[in-house]
Chain A
Amino acid sequence: MLVAALVLAAALGSERLSFFDLTEQQRSILFDIRLPRVFLGACVGASLAVAGAALQSLLRNPLAEPYLLGVSNGAALGTMLAFVFFTGFEFARPVFAFAGAVIATVVVYRMAKSRAGMNVERLVLSGVIVTTFLSSIIVLLTSLLDAAKLRSFTFWLLGDLSQATKSGFYLTLAVVVIGTIVLSSQARALNLMMIGERDAFDFGVEVNRVRIVVFGAAAALVGTAVAASGSVGYVGLIVPHLVRLAVGSDNRLVVPFSALAGATFVVLADTAARTLIAPRELPVGAITALIGAPLFIYLLRKN
């Protein structure tokens, strides 16, 4: 399915490309602009979906999503700070995004921990508090920026793949592959953690280590995705759900399949974003939200 989506995405765009005998210019469009963007979209989609799947299992909460837990906003704030203070360095962005994601995760985690142990409701509550707090800081920062920077950020915050570069792509690809492998290695442990942390501990899972590894990997995945393209929402929430409907709750299947499904989802959404009002573009995050929100409501009702 992913391959089909990729081919479709490569074929569609604001400029028509002929199938055979591409002109020099068309070749440039395809290889310099369209394909890097499509592949970046695939990586971003895979990253977010895998992170979402892992977090949902770890936190035993089907509503866990990088955005809800403050991870996305932490990454977004990190990226903004990198942009404002370190405009020169291209690598500052993903590094700061990762830092932001990790810090947000740690804060949420600490807030949620009570003596009785990790209560999932508390975790989601802490996540919402942190995410809204970070949101307001982001809004504050954007209102302090001058109009020119403001415009570029507002668009980016909604999820924008138009700034895809080759180097950005390689980094995101590396992180996605490593992150997915790491999380897949923890998949069986996550299966046990899905039942309960105490149960997982009793049956041999090193709960603390798994928590750190999964949070760390999720933060890295979300951080790089957000640094590359802003907050593309709903992917981490919807895709794992759909995958579970298809293959069951076994994380050894859900994690890798979420990567593929997430990639497909974002590639298709981005293709729509690029072609619906061509030659103008919509932010891809708007499309994922448009599809994601009603889909989510539908899934909720089915349960």
Chain B
Amino acid sequence: MLDIDQISVRYDGREVLRDVSLTVKPGQIVALLGANGAGKTTLIRATNGSVEIETGEIWMDGKTIRSLSRRETAKKIAVVAQENETKFPLTVLEFVLAGRFVHGGAFGWETDEDLRIAESVLYECDLTDFRDRFMNELSGGERQRVVLARALAVEAEILLLDEPTANIDLAHQALMFRLVRARCREMNCSAIVITHDLNLAAEFADKIILLKNGEVHAQGEPREVLTSENLQSVFAVNVLLDTNPASGNVRVTTIY
């Protein structure tokens, strides 16, 4: 269980996050929404320890993130972020195996177990055919899936995803979310997903957090949070809300 307790983060003297609190229970998928610059990525980065928290604490299984070593943190929390271009030839399998680093030793050759997990993760993400291909041969969307696979290979308790469906085609967008949900159900892990797609969030998230200017504007179940007032306030758009006939979840339509 992840407990973010009234954290503030400052960057260059500017307060980027103020007094943000959030609890994520095991098995939960939380969607993190907000306009650009609202502090979503900073919240993710604070959670995995790459950004320093000024006040407040983040607790995980009774310990603060601060008190854990880098390795321990990375074992519990895996990140899916925008992918960097590699200048070195790296195969998809090698890339995904990086996710097993935290489970290995210093000279660290991969164990059979590591390989099995990597292969199975590739299978889950529909990437088995790409196993031995080089990363720079793949399209942007395909690479994003590999990035997800790598995070899944960690077998962490918490998955943090920063716009994981940015360059992905429609078919695979749904696949990514389904994968995350399936993983969270199977392993009882949780996920925090930053996305701009309100409807995907409505479909897959158990809880939605709306961030505005570094503060939590609203949090709760999708139907509670996705209201016209909230969306007008946070995104400055007019929306029409109804129910998705196929799933029964709230559906957001922007009025242009």
The 8 Å CB contact of A62, one of B48, B88, B98, B150, is B88
Query: Is the pair B81, A60 in contact by a Cβ cutoff of 8 Å?
Result: no
Highest count of chain B CB atoms <10 Å: which of A187, A199, A205, A244: A199
Q: Residues of A contacting B98 with CB < 8 Å?
A: 191-192, 195, 199, 203
List residues of B (86-112) whose CB comes within 8 Å of A's CBs. Answer: 86-90, 94-95, 98-99, 101-102, 104, 106-109
Q: Residues of B contacting A184 with CB < 8 Å?
A: 107
The 8 Å CB contact of B84, one of A187, A196, A203, A250, is A196
Cα A24 to Cα B99 with chains together (Å): 61
B116 at the interface (CB under 8 A from A): no
A170 at the interface (CB under 8 A from B): no
Query: Is the pair A205, B90 in contact by a Cβ cutoff of 8 Å?
Result: no
Cα A4 to Cα B135 with chains together (Å): 37
Query: Is the pair A60, B87 in contact by a Cβ cutoff of 8 Å?
Result: yes
Query: Is the pair B75, A202 in contact by a Cβ cutoff of 8 Å?
Result: no
Instruction: Please judge, given known A-B contacts A195-B95, A203-B102, whether A187 and B70 are in contact too, CB under 8 Å.
Output: no
List residues of B (130-146) whose CB comes within 8 Å of A's CBs. Answer: none
Q: Residues of B contacting A115 with CB < 8 Å?
A: 12
Query: Is the pair B71, A204 in contact by a Cβ cutoff of 8 Å?
Result: yes
Query: Is the pair B102, A204 in contact by a Cβ cutoff of 8 Å?
Result: yes
> Which residue on A lies nearest to B135, using beta carbons?
A195
Query: Is the pair A188, B106 in contact by a Cβ cutoff of 8 Å?
Result: yes
User: In which size bucket is the chain B interface?
Assistant: 20 to 34
Query: Is the pair A199, B94 in contact by a Cβ cutoff of 8 Å?
Result: no
Query: Is the pair B101, A205 in contact by a Cβ cutoff of 8 Å?
Result: yes
Q: Residues of B contacting A187 with CB < 8 Å?
A: 107
Interface SS, B side: loop
The 8 Å CB contact of A195, one of B73, B78, B90, B107, is B90
Instruction: Please judge, given known A-B contacts A204-B74, A204-B75, whether A249 and B84 are in contact too, CB under 8 Å.
Output: no
List residues of A (111-157) whose CB comes within 8 Å of B's CBs. Answer: 115
Cα A119 to Cα B24 with chains together (Å): 35
B50 at the interface (CB under 8 A from A): yes
A90 at the interface (CB under 8 A from B): no
CB distance from B76 to the nearest CB of A (A): 10
B191 at the interface (CB under 8 A from A): no
Query: Is the pair A250, B70 in contact by a Cβ cutoff of 8 Å?
Result: no
Query: Is the pair B70, A201 in contact by a Cβ cutoff of 8 Å?
Result: yes
Interface SS, A side: helix
Query: Is the pair B79, A202 in contact by a Cβ cutoff of 8 Å?
Result: yes
Query: Is the pair B94, A192 in contact by a Cβ cutoff of 8 Å?
Result: no
Cα A136 to Cα B101 with chains together (Å): 44
Query: Is the pair A61, B104 in contact by a Cβ cutoff of 8 Å?
Result: no
Highest count of chain B CB atoms <10 Å: which of A195, A204, A250: A204
The 8 Å CB contact of A202, one of B48, B95, B106, B107, is B48
Q: Residues of B contacting A206 with CB < 8 Å?
A: 69-71
Query: Is the pair A203, B74 in contact by a Cβ cutoff of 8 Å?
Result: yes
Q: Residues of B contacting A185 with CB < 8 Å?
A: 106-107
Cα A191 to Cα B79 with chains together (Å): 18
> Which residue on B lies nearest to A206, using beta carbons?
B70
A252 at the interface (CB under 8 A from B): yes
> Which residue on B lies nearest to A204, using beta carbons?
B74
Cα A189 to Cα B99 with chains together (Å): 12
Cα A58 to Cα B106 with chains together (Å): 16
CB distance from A198 to the nearest CB of B (A): 7
Instruction: Please judge, given known A-B contacts A185-B107, A203-B154, A204-B74, whether A194 and B81 are in contact too, CB under 8 Å.
Output: no
Q: Residues of A contacting B90 with CB < 8 Å?
A: 194-195, 249
Q: Residues of A contacting B88 with CB < 8 Å?
A: 57, 60, 62, 194, 244, 249
Cα A142 to Cα B12 with chains together (Å): 46
Q: Residues of B contacting A188 with CB < 8 Å?
A: 101, 104, 106-108
Q: Residues of A contacting B107 with CB < 8 Å?
A: 184-185, 187-188, 252
> Which residue on B lies nearest to A251, using beta carbons?
B88
Q: Residues of A contacting B81 with CB < 8 Å?
A: 198-199, 202
User: Can you name 10 extra interface pairs (CB under 8 A) apart from A60-B86, A198-B81?
Assistant: A60-B88, A188-B101, A195-B86, A199-B81, A203-B74, A204-B75, A204-B101, A206-B70, A248-B89, A250-B94
Q: List 11 A-B contacts (CB under 8 A).
A: A60-B87, A61-B87, A188-B101, A188-B106, A188-B107, A192-B101, A194-B86, A194-B88, A204-B74, A204-B102, A205-B70
In order of increasing CB-CB distance, the 9 nearest A-B pairs are A204-B74, A196-B84, A204-B102, A202-B79, A188-B108, A249-B88, A206-B70, A204-B71, A185-B106
